Structure 1
């Protein structure tokens, strides 16, 4: 039941934001009465925090396990459409509730730092500046994320394809 509540809440928070989602909507989506949520989560704030931590942990795990930089970027397009937890991570990072703004931005910056470190580690044998490559990679990711939130998947794909082609030409040439 606890996981069902989190899944329903992640989907609703991703769609309507923190302020636009009520515990009544979550309970209705799960098929339980609203007071049943309190058996698992002490408040809407606490539920949101728990979901964000799960989403953050899932993204950090994806970063840690990947050796395919393009695949990681490309998977964001798929996950945004198919995975409510990823969509929640993205939308709450861009539109955090006021009470969690500082915490979420700190976590998101940590996520970007992990991405930069991953790029640097994967490109450490090439002749390019891996610090610059890490920063450019997160710029591409941010571009895709912004387009996913504000635009269309097609525009996100276009941005990704063009940016990746230039990234490869600039930073991946000497890679073994």
Structure 2
């Protein structure tokens, strides 16, 4: 038994059942240990979920840095469109990203301030990367600040489609709203 196997099972359980719907007993049972053994690694369920979240946010910050570096020579339209599609795919295929957005949009009440704060770390990093991308984009019909604010609003709305609806509803909303967004910021 390791802290890593506990975190992997907990990540899946939190993603499937939410924080309130997941017990340490369930996690322990799936790992093949007694509940008390979890306390050798984590003081509480809160510490377990916060540890997972911290690791996921760090992974996301690293992903964003690599993504923007990889597409730094791409047109802004391609970069932004690809970013939205990449997050959709990560949410659907990677439990860590599903966890990150679930906890950001539907956090445990008593940890809401913490999850809001850590999600803001993600947004601040994304904003700084977007600032550089928008600043180097040729001739847009909006200021970088306006383009970024509109993009983050689109991003947030599309992620809400994944959390509260389905990937199919994301796809429909993405197809419709992307055209309007891009038309609105380009010359």
| Residue in structure 1 matched with residue 168 of structure 2 by the alignment | 154
Q: Could you tell me how far 1:35 is from its partner in structure 2?
A: 2.1
The unaligned stretches of length 5 or more in structure 1 are none
The unaligned stretches of length 5 or more in structure 2 are 69-78
1:120-159 map, 5 Å: 120-125=131-136, 126-128=138-140, 129-159=143-173
Q: Could you tell me how far 1:29 is from its partner in structure 2?
A: 2.3
Deviations 1:14-55 (A, max 9, x none): 222211110111112223322221222121111011011011
Higher mean Cα deviation, 5-14 or 67-76?
67-76
Q: How many residue pairs get matched? A: 173
| Residue in structure 2 matched with residue 28 of structure 1 by the alignment | 29
Moved over 6 A (4+): none
1:7-156 map, 5 Å: 7-67=8-68, 68-125=79-136, 126-128=138-140, 129-156=143-170
Deviations 1:99-156 (A, max 9, x none): 2211211222232232222222112123331111111111111111111111111110
TM-score, with length taken from structure 1: 0.89
Q: CA RMSD in A?
A: 1.7
Higher mean Cα deviation, 123-132 or 84-93?
123-132
Please tell me whether the aligned partners of residues 134 and 148 of structure 2 are also in contact (alpha carbons under 8 angstroms).
no
